[in-house]
Amino acid sequence: MEYRYSERMAKMNGAATREILKLLTRPEIISFAGGFPATQCLPQKEVQEIAHELLSEGKATAVLQYGTTEGFVPFREELIKYVKTAGIENVSLDETLVISGGQQGIDLMSKIFLDKGDVVLVENPTYLTALQIFDSYQAKIVGVDADENGLKLDDLEEKIKKHHPKFIYVVSTFSNPTGKTYSIENRKQIAEITAKYGVMVLEDDPYSKLRFEGEWVPSIKSFDKAGNVVYLTSFSKVLSPGLRTGVAVGNKEVIRKLTIGKQGVDVTTSNLSQLIVAEYLKRGYLFPNIEKSLPIYRERKNAMIAAIQKYMPEEFSFINAQGGLFIWGGFDAPIDTTKLAPEAIKYDVAYIQGQVFYPNADVTNMIRLNFSNATVEKIDLGMSHLGEMFKKEIAKAKKA
């Protein structure tokens, strides 16, 4: 049997991160590769308690029977309150859609807007799975330059004029992979410029609650006057990735289209997951648990920075994130981090090569290091191995 796959499959290989995760079967490997929240921050007790109540006699039908694609109304009411913490006010029910994680939001947004050959703008670099999703819709992905304040606005405007993109995708707070946060002024300008040219913004915000330094900033969505921003957030990093829940907030016409898109994809998000998260929010468990988690993340981030300074070659520089899960850095030396990723596994360490985060894949000297799911001791040990490897490689390169 010769399988006649669709054209879109030609560009779709396994997600680099998920493929590397599968390699991590040896328990001695220290992984800086994934984007897992700290396991000890997952609220086992509270979820157990809530699930038990939801599944009790007389209540369980809501969990076990079919629900609506839009999601449970009491959950969406909690979500409307929740997104106020991102500065998003006056959201009505029909401006919300429950999704099975932020990633589904990216997929549905692509589904409703992208035809083959349409352009999507992204920060360069950006979340690799978003790139893969845009590829699966055979879109043309164009990177926009960024600096420490966020997107370079002249580059953004120039590329909007040149490419007439359907939308721009950004992780505006603790960006994946760079850990950067756009300034408030930058956010306002992004909202204005895109509105002026009739370009949608897909603002993906999985990380903003994991801020352990610096000042809170409102979302780009909070500056949306034209109805051109769709805001995504998920509970994967602040509650549990295994439950697969998130929300899309946008203009009600767009939300309606996203809902129609979701009908054909998975009918509804798991009722049990929806109702667990709804109740978790309602009982006020979320923010106290985040407060308890932040010192752990902060400690691990600091351990990662200290280990970088202790073990990594002087040719390595990095961005010191104020939150989120990642440290992004690169070598001022002829080091190919893509080629070395399998070599690092021999040193019992996993990282993600920077190349996969670029739409044009021509940058080979960068790496993304996750600090959230390893202990301080493991971070030190893993970075000492990684430092040893990179120092050897740089010495080799200098000899050659």
Which CB sits closer to its own copies, 68 or 317? 68
Contact with its own copies (CB under 8 A): which of 104, 181, 293, 337? 104
Helices (H), 267-375: 271-282, 286-311, 337-346
Full strand arrangement of the beta sheet holding 200-204: 96-99, 246-249, 229-234, 200-204, 167-170, 119-123, 140-144
Residues 250-269 that bind its own copies (CB under 8 A): 251, 253-254, 257, 259-261, 263-269
18 binds its own copies (CB under 8 A): yes
Q: Token digits for 82?
A: 């929740």
133 is an interface residue for its own copies by CB under 8 A: yes
Does 92 bind its own copies (CB under 8 A)? Our answer is no
Tell me which residues in 213-252 interact with its own copies (CB under 8 A): 226-228, 236, 240-244, 251
Which residue stretch of 81-89, 106-114, 145-153, 386-394 sits at the interface with its own copies (rule: CB under 8 A)? 106-114
Q: Which of residues 171-200 bind its own copies (CB under 8 A)?
A: 195, 198, 200
**In whole angstroms, what is the distance from residue 312 CA to residue 316 CA?**
7
- Kindly indicate which of the ranges 47-55, 179-187, 213-221, 318-326 contains the residues binding its own copies, using the contact rule CB under 8 A: 47-55
Of the candidates 33, 31, 37, the one whose C-alpha atom is nearest the C-alpha of residue 293 is: 37
- Provide the 3-class DSSP secondary structure of residue 94: helix
DSSP helix/strand/coil, 203:
strand
For residue 21, list its beta bridge partners. Answer: none
* Piece of the chain touching its own copies by CB under 8 A; list 44-52, 151-159, 302-310, 383-391: 44-52
CA torsion, points 286, 230, 258, 266, in degrees to nearest 10?
A: -30
Q: Are 191 and 218 in contact, with CB atoms under 8 Å apart?
A: no
117 binds its own copies (CB under 8 A): no
| Least distance between its own copies and beta carbon 263 (Å) | 5
Place of tokens 């070659």: 313
For residues 105 and 96, what is the distance between their CA atoms, to the nearest angstrom? 12
Task: State the minimum distance, in angstroms, from the CB of residue 390 to its own copies.
Answer: 27
Nearer to its own copies, 236 or 365 (CB): 236
270 belongs to the binding site for its own copies (CB under 8 A):
yes
- Which residue is listed with tokens 């609650």? 209
Q: Out of 189, 271, 364, 365, which residue is the one contacting its own copies (CB under 8 A)?
A: 271
CB of 198 or CB of 295, closer to its own copies: 198
